[in-house]
A and B are shown apart, each in its own frame.
Chain A
């Protein structure tokens, strides 16, 4: 069975702190993709990153970085120097052949 676990339900940080959102997945597929989405208060999910199962290189995009480790089945997301605009719910997702499996999300609150 496929599963995505985001154990952190809610995280609060003060602006400019670094924060890491955890994502652990389960799958028996050898080929799969992992994703992160941001859901701001408006509700629309915004795509952040896609990573395939054969590429374990870390990714950095501005203040965002992602750490993919197949050995621990984790795909963690770090925001450096957080800002109030980063406040949102963040979802990790695993893509099977036809369907996505989403985690339950982590609500990030960045306080000014």
Chain B
């Protein structure tokens, strides 16, 4: 089955630790995205990537880093510099950079203790 997988579903970390969230897609999509969702809020764009080995900052990139070494994978690292990392993180992808709908993964809920 084609789709987007995110792991783990729930993640707990101590304050000050870096943590990496996984996102894999087998839809052969070119573009991939990371969003952050806080309770009662919409989705805010962290990073996006149009092609392999290229990515751009979104609206709230500070304290996060990404890599795009393979078309299928777009991992997100939440660093200790992110002041308030507890949130729900969603990964998405789409075929072309312009106008097509995005498909979303199931999300990772990160809690920093």
Binding between chains A and B = yes
A110 to B86, CA, bound (A): 29
Residue pair A43, B101 in contact (C-beta under 8 Å): no
Contacts of A31 in B (CB 8 A): 99
Contacts of A98 in B (CB 8 A): 48, 50, 56, 97-98
**How far apart are B51's CB and chain A's nearest CB, in angstroms?**
12
Contacts of B102 in A (CB 8 A): 47, 100
Q: Which of A4, A45, A97, A103 has the most CB of B within 10 A?
A: A45
- Say whether A16 faces chain B, with CB atoms less than 8 Å apart: no
Provide the A40-66 mask, 1 if CB < 8 A to any CB of B, else 0. 001111110010100000000000000
- Say whether A99 faces chain B, with CB atoms less than 8 Å apart: yes
Contacts of A42 in B (CB 8 A): 106
**What count of chain B residues pass the 8 Å CB interface test?**
25
Q: Which single member of B45, B97, B107 contacts A44 (CB below 8 Å)?
A: B107
Residue pair A102, B43 in contact (C-beta under 8 Å): yes
Residue pair B42, A104 in contact (C-beta under 8 Å): yes
Contacts of A97 in B (CB 8 A): 97-98
A29 to B28, CA, bound (A): 29
A86 to B99, CA, bound (A): 26
- Say whether B95 faces chain A, with CB atoms less than 8 Å apart: no
Query: In chain B between 16 and 42, which residues have their CB closer than 8 angstroms to a CB of chain A?
Result: 33, 40-42
Question: With A99-B45, A99-B58 in contact, is A50–B101 under 8 Å at CB?
Answer: yes
What are 21 A-B interface contacts by the 8 Å CB criterion?
Answer: A4-B42, A32-B99, A37-B104, A44-B105, A44-B106, A44-B107, A46-B104, A47-B102, A47-B103, A50-B99, A91-B43, A97-B97, A98-B48, A98-B50, A98-B56, A100-B33, A100-B102, A102-B42, A104-B42, A105-B40, A105-B41
Given contact pairs A98-B56, A98-B97, enumerate 18 new A-B contacts (beta carbons under 8 Å): A33-B99, A42-B106, A43-B88, A43-B107, A44-B104, A44-B105, A44-B106, A45-B104, A46-B104, A47-B101, A91-B43, A98-B98, A99-B58, A100-B102, A102-B42, A103-B42, A104-B42, A105-B42
